[in-house]
Structure 1
Amino acid sequence: MGTEPIEDLRAVQRRTVGVLAAGQVLGGIAFGATVSLGALLAADLSGDDALSGLATASVTLGAAAFAIPLARFAARRGRRMSLTAGNLLALIGIGIVITAAALRFFPLLLVGIIMIGMGNAGNLQSRFAATDLAAPEHRGRDLSIVVWSTTVGGVTGPLLLPLGEEVGALIGMPPLTGSYLFSLVAQAAALVLYVIALRPDPLLTAMRLAGSASRGAVLGADIDRPVVARYAIFAVSGSHAVMASVMAMTPIHLKHMADGGGHGSTQEVTLLVGVTIALHVAGMYGLSPLFGILADRWGRIRVVLLGQVVLTASLLTAIFAGEHPAGVMVALILLGLGWSAATVAGAALLTESSTVLMRPRRQGVSDSLMSLTAAVGAAGAGIVLTEFGYGGLATVALALVIAITALSPFGRIRDTA
């Protein structure tokens, strides 16, 4: 496919974005359930709230460990095979989590969540797959459409918690695991979708086009800008660490507030957590197409900085209004919006700062560092929450926002976006 007409390539790109978007809808269901239930399961099985952050840390650690190998696998075998591998690992991980809850064995729970995280590395790679054949003027838009698609599953997953508990109880599943039934079905459907429909493979097609006349007309110049790429990686990973560390402790913080207010039943806590996380996930993905379009029109760096402004507003809300459920909800919505702006624009900046051959490697490094820094942040967040409270956790996270803003001139070097 080295001499495809431009219109044929655009048709392939439209179909690719559609398939990736559908896969993200399905993958988002598993993501929402893991985020909502992981911390609560970890606290329940370990008997220590300070260890609850290990759930989110395990998800991000799994993604960090598998991101680079998955990117290398994509470079050799294409996006279709790499995304399918991620779905398969997530399916196995969900089964292990349910087993660990039944056995009440905390270490096995972490193993299962790590494997779900390894599968989530594939979900993260989907947004880059949307840019493989994208024209420069639509790169942010196409990437953001795939990111946005996670909204459906990501919002639905947490809202299914009460129903999942009822279904799980009917068939004898352990408490706090019923929603993983929906995750199993969704991950299996995504696996089948990628195997059948993600053809031709977008990354392999882009590699074949490298250096051809049609490539320049459709995909733009193939110029390497390593300084800009390094800043993009830092901005994406730092913004993700801020989001993950605060989000990881929000279910525990809400549980403490519910207990303190005399509303500590499992059903009431899961409902409060589910609604809050659903609003947060809606913030993460709901407006991503807007941020993608703004990144195409305003430039990537401006939208990255817009994300830092919104993250700052979120953290200040958590500091000054974080002892009220409504304040926590507002903070989590803003946290999701700031993350969305920074990661959509940062991912687009990374893609256009790298040659086609360098992209899989740098994208893998970006995803690995993003997940690794979030794992460290989530693991430490439990300790910070215990010692300094929710406001103290937000104050610590604010330091990363300041660093991303201060270093933004490095992202402007030869940036013509």
Structure 2
Amino acid sequence: MNTALSAPRTAQPRIVRTLSIAQIFSGLGNGSTLALGSILAVDLSGSEAWAGSVNTALTLGTAATAIPLSQLALARGRRIALTTGLAAAVAGTALMVGAVATGAFVLLLAGAFLVGLASAVNLQARFAVTDLAEPARRGRDLSLVVWAITLGAVAGPNMVGPGAVLAGWLGIPAQAGPFLISAAGMVVGAAIVALFLRPDPLLARRALDGDDPQPGPRSSGSWRAGWQIVRGHPTARGAVTAVAAAHAVMVAVMSMTPLHMQHHAGHAAGGPDTIALIGFTISLHIAGMYALSPLMGWLTDRLGAARTVLTGMGVLAAAAALTGLLPRHMPAVTAGLILLGLGWSAATVAGSTLLVSSLTPAQRVPAQGFSDATMSLAGAAGSAAAGPVMGLIGYTGISAIAAALVAAATVTLLRLPAVHR
């Protein structure tokens, strides 16, 4: 029997394990960059005005490379696309080490841009696991790969201490050390994908569909091609809208919450109690985003992807209500951040599953690249707009705008036939 044709039964569990384990290691890169990025940006630029520049470069790197990686997947398969993206991210960490050593701010931004490819790989991996997934388990398989990011996302920022020790052994600046650990993690992740992602799920999918399973030139995975596919399918359009809106809302509210809590926590500004409360709140928020993603996958398969996306939108609306109506009540703000993470998780897992299920296999990869790029750009826009909005109309105003975005996305979703089945 053709091994590709038996892949859904025999290979899918291995594909899930391979991608999940690789995600743990590849997630280390972003964590270290986020933990040190703003500090290094200020140190190397000499101005606090550039504090957010590294995070912006990281996000733009993800957005700019999501579609090229999907084009590479179309041409050569998932394994080549994912390993190439991680190799570029490793090069990015090398540039960041060089930036720390030389004090070159431009080199720091270039490195952060390339490290953004690790995020693009993580986004594509969640779709790669659906290539051979049975429809009844598609949401759960996707959610397991998303859940695996948790370990890397949590471990990454905690590499600062061990990285400094490593830097001391090597005789390089302490702030360069964490990026060496991140690079090592991404090398391990790339090796796992290269060695164990077999059969290539996308190529095996083609074999199942009677398409040519051999790597080679494929239909365009460009932004325009992805948009044309999504535009022609209302359900896919609703899925992309939901994922992008959820990501923009999550990033905007989350990014301004530490500053808001510092101003209104009731403790001395910048004091240990306030800092501990902020850290605790953000940790709970991250747990809401990732730790319960398998539950979101189970709900997606049981309730249906469209209904689970709507549930996520409802949770996001509740989060915006708490943070907007009770901005000075810190327990309410903390609860709002937990709900913000849970709503994002439900909308992202179910929205990604809805996109896959609404398209034919030949249409999925270009649409997935378009969705990932749109999601990343929405997050970058949310991050860039949050600061000025906070200055003009405050934390309550950010929550109100977030609620309006959720409401608009919900209206789009309610028009989908899939919601009423």
Verify same fold: TM over 0.5: yes
**Aligned: 1:402 with 2:407:** yes
SS in 2 for 1:357: helix
Paired residues of 1:52 and 1:382 also in contact (CA < 8 A): no
SS in 1 for 2:348: helix
Paired residues of 1:36 and 1:277 also in contact (CA < 8 A): no
Equivalents in 1 of 2:277, 2:102: separation in Å?
27
User: Which one of the candidate residues 233, 244, 263 is aligned to 1:237?
Assistant: 244
Equivalents in 2 of 1:314, 1:182: separation in Å?
35
Paired residues of 1:56 and 1:378 also in contact (CA < 8 A): no
- How big is the shift at 1:120? 1.4
CA RMSD of aligned residues (A): 3.2
- How big is the shift at 1:288? 0.7
Counterpart in 1 of 2:214?
none
Paired residues of 1:56 and 1:248 also in contact (CA < 8 A): no
Q: Within 5 Å, which residues of 2 pair with 1:127-206?
A: 127-164=126-163, 168=167, 174=173, 178-206=177-205
Rate the CA distance shift 1:403–1:415 in 2: closer, same or farther, 3 A: closer
Amino acid in structure 1 at the alignment position of 2:180: L
- How big is the shift at 1:187? 0.8
Counterpart in 2 of 1:333?
338
Paired residues of 1:228 and 1:415 also in contact (CA < 8 A): no
Equivalents in 2 of 1:401, 1:177: separation in Å?
40
**Aligned: 1:364 with 2:369:** yes
Equivalents in 2 of 1:386, 1:174: separation in Å?
36
Return 232-241 or 151-160, whichever deviates more.
Answer: 151-160
- How big is the shift at 1:26? 1.1
Amino acid in structure 2 at the alignment position of 1:97: M
Return 176-185 or 340-349, whichever deviates more.
Answer: 176-185
**Aligned: 1:316 with 2:321:** yes
Amino acid in structure 2 at the alignment position of 1:107: V
Paired residues of 1:158 and 1:277 also in contact (CA < 8 A): no
Rate the CA distance shift 1:112–1:135 in 2: closer, same or farther, 3 A: same
Amino acid in structure 1 at the alignment position of 2:19: L
- How big is the shift at 1:51? 4.2
Equivalents in 1 of 2:284, 2:239: separation in Å?
27
Equivalents in 2 of 1:309, 1:102: separation in Å?
48
Rate the CA distance shift 1:52–1:313 in 2: closer, same or farther, 3 A: farther
Return 321-330 or 352-361, whichever deviates more.
Answer: 321-330
SS in 2 for 1:194: helix
Rate the CA distance shift 1:179–1:328 in 2: closer, same or farther, 3 A: farther
Paired residues of 2:297 and 2:349 also in contact (CA < 8 A): yes
Paired residues of 1:83 and 1:126 also in contact (CA < 8 A): yes
Amino acid in structure 1 at the alignment position of 2:136: E
1:376-408 CA deviation, whole Å, 9 max, x = no partner? 221222322344443333333222111111111
Q: Within 5 Å, which residues of 2 pair with 1:10-409?
A: 10-46=9-45, 49=48, 51-164=50-163, 168=167, 174=173, 178-211=177-210, 226-250=233-257, 261=268, 263=270, 275-320=280-325, 322=327, 329-409=334-414
The TM-score normalised by the length of structure 2 is 0.84
SS in 1 for 2:131: coil
Quote the sequence identity (%).
Answer: 44
The TM-score normalised by the length of structure 1 is 0.85
Paired residues of 1:85 and 1:119 also in contact (CA < 8 A): no
SS in 1 for 2:27: helix
Rate the CA distance shift 1:405–1:82 in 2: closer, same or farther, 3 A: same
Amino acid in structure 2 at the alignment position of 1:408: L
- How big is the shift at 1:254? 5.9
SS in 2 for 1:354: coil
Counterpart in 2 of 1:218?
none
Rate the CA distance shift 1:110–1:17 in 2: closer, same or farther, 3 A: same
Equivalents in 2 of 1:332, 1:367: separation in Å?
23
Paired residues of 2:263 and 2:269 also in contact (CA < 8 A): no
Runs of 5+ unmatched residues, structure 2:
212-228
Runs of 5+ unmatched residues, structure 1:
213-222
How many residues were matched structurally? 403
Rate the CA distance shift 1:101–1:327 in 2: closer, same or farther, 3 A: farther
Equivalents in 1 of 2:158, 2:326: separation in Å?
24
Equivalents in 1 of 2:44, 2:112: separation in Å?
13
SS in 1 for 2:150: helix
- How big is the shift at 1:186? 1.1
Equivalents in 2 of 1:295, 1:74: separation in Å?
26
Rate the CA distance shift 1:192–1:326 in 2: closer, same or farther, 3 A: farther
